[in-house]
Chain A
């Protein structure tokens, strides 16, 4: 098998931008079966099979090595598995899909501006309120890693799959870890990002799976494709 599988986000703005990005570099991706089809082709590149996936599945399948290369957000690679970043090669950023994974607290917490303030608040939260400080987020892996590095252990994660920014007002959690590109949704919900609260700067990346099989011929093909895209070879 020397064919290369390229996974592209299957819908929305991310799909559009990805296809535009490849097209701008002379590689047109088409979807012969229309928006409902999950198979595509890259014109003039018979060795490349294009498959359309949801962005989070692209991250998972790259880490597992079930697909060879793909376009998805850096945040999803970090979130899917602790070993995610080691399992892939970030070949190049694509200059769209910018967003930061941030820690935000209620704007009313005027005493909490940095992570070390949060560490103080978390450490005696339990004795004051008979429960742990609660953090709403869908970024469980990233949050645990970051907080462990910061020496904060006294908290509980409340998994939130949507409208995370509403969690403090609805009483589900005290603070949030969320993704934001401008911070305006957070601000509109009375939340403020800590001064050192950016955990991860993310954008869409062209990503190569390190766990996929790369026999010589196939790797050569990959690297020539990457070179054509001004991306870093594997």
Chain B
């Protein structure tokens, strides 16, 4: 047995040893749920094909979605653990479009923090099969959401800022815009019903349906809200808080201390999410852990803590975290805790041979 084959066999054994159900979703999956969940940005990575009816299918681009959909369809709501190891297919700039991914999904566990610990343990065990040191980059989705809720600003700005979390450039543009907001005297607002009438007339004259897409009421309301927002400034102090917070990056302990100091000076209660991160650190022991305040996947179903394990040159070897909003997004009728991670098997092997 070559060394690579041995490592592969050990990875198989690790995946089998998690006490969960080994999931083997089909290779050919309907494409729509992926577009629905992750939009065009992920959609461009899919390998698509169509059947005779014109329905679009894709080659399995990852495992989480089919596993979670099957779980919801079962309707059990019982705690469940799934593991997987097999080929996935994505368009990539370099490297073949078919490559292996392994991973774990822990659903509806009674303690989401214990579940995340199990995910960390699984990922670290995989890295150690390949003889790699654990370098973890943590992100705090829950921490940022807690900060945002308490930061002083007009409520309507919060979803706009939250929406840009994890996209450094978009966030930068928004903050710059807010900082530059001129102190324009507030103009007289047209009445809501006059606006609605005006918008309705415009829609009718260009042949737009008044009900299929955005409605005249929705447009008028957002117009008024926008005018109000332009007048309702985010205080300069809050903008500075956001900038200072998002700039925090580095060794986890000193990063958390900086965040605590920031919370103290702005009178924010961030104790609970910070403690949650610290608890996991105790379990991570020897690993080299950094925290990056601005780090988050660009998918709104992530919650709590997210992470990446990286190799030399920053290649992502494992990524995952907590995503308690995912099951609801996929049709579950109540919130269900979820956490897990995916391992990039080809990159793990590449780290060894490099």
Which residues of A line the B interface, CB within 8 A? 82-83, 106-111, 116-117, 119-121, 123-125, 128-129, 132, 143-144, 147-151, 153-157, 168-169, 171, 174, 189-191
Contact = CB atoms under 8 A, between A and B. Distances in A.
Given A119-B170, A154-B39, A190-B206, A110 B213 contact: no
Given A143-B40, A156-B40, A157-B40, 13 more contacts: A107-B202, A108-B219, A110-B199, A110-B220, A116-B173, A117-B226, A119-B164, A151-B173, A153-B39, A153-B41, A168-B208, A168-B213, A191-B206
Contact of A110 (B159, B177, B219): B219
Nearest to A152: B170
Interface in B141-194: 159-160, 163-164, 167, 169-171, 173-174, 177
A151 B207 CA distance: 30
Contact of B208 (A124, A148, A169): A169
A89 B39 CA distance: 32
Contacts of A150: 170
Interface of B: 35-36, 38-41, 44, 93, 159-160, 163-164, 167, 169-171, 173-174, 177, 195, 198-199, 202-203, 205-209, 212-214, 216, 218-220, 222-223, 225-226, 298
A171 B203 CA distance: 12
A123 B222 contact: no
Contact of A124 (B36, B159, B174, B199): B159
Contacts of A156: 35, 39-40
B222 A121 contact: yes
Given A110-B219, A121-B222, A128-B218, A153 B199 contact: no
B236 to A, nearest CB: 20
A227 B22 CA distance: 65
B199 A108 contact: yes
A144 B209 contact: no
Q: What are the 6 tightest A-B residue pairs by CB atom distance, in nearest-first order?
A: A190-B206, A151-B170, A108-B202, A169-B207, A111-B223, A151-B167
A167 to B, nearest CB: 11
B213 A174 contact: yes
B153 to A, nearest CB: 15
B174 A108 contact: no
A96 to B, nearest CB: 31
A108 B212 contact: no
29 contacts: A83-B93, A106-B202, A107-B206, A108-B202, A108-B203, A109-B214, A109-B219, A110-B195, A110-B220, A111-B220, A111-B226, A116-B173, A119-B164, A120-B160, A121-B222, A123-B159, A124-B159, A144-B44, A147-B40, A147-B41, A151-B169, A153-B298, A154-B39, A155-B39, A157-B40, A168-B213, A169-B207, A171-B213, A190-B206
Given A111-B226, A119-B163, A129-B213, A149 B169 contact: yes
A132 B173 contact: no
Contacts of A117: 226
B206 A189 contact: yes
Contacts, number: 100
Contacts of A111: 219-220, 222-223, 225-226
Contacts of A108: 199, 202-203, 206, 208, 216, 219
A132 B226 contact: no
Contacts of B220: 110-111
Contacts of B160: 120, 123
A218 B36 CA distance: 50
Contacts of B163: 119-120, 123
Contacts of B225: 111
B17 to A, nearest CB: 36
B41 A106 contact: no
Contacts of B177: 116
Contact of A171 (B170, B171, B205, B212): B212
B294 to A, nearest CB: 13
Nearest to A105: B214
A155 B206 contact: no
A121 B218 CA distance: 10
A110 B223 contact: yes
A155 B208 contact: no
Nearest to A134: B213
A17 to B, nearest CB: 33
A148 B209 CA distance: 29
A190 B199 CA distance: 12
A109 B216 CA distance: 9
B325 to A, nearest CB: 12
B237 to A, nearest CB: 23
A35 to B, nearest CB: 36
Nearest to B162: A123
Contacts of A82: 93
Nearest to A106: B208
A109 B39 CA distance: 23
A128 B211 CA distance: 12
Nearest to A148: B41
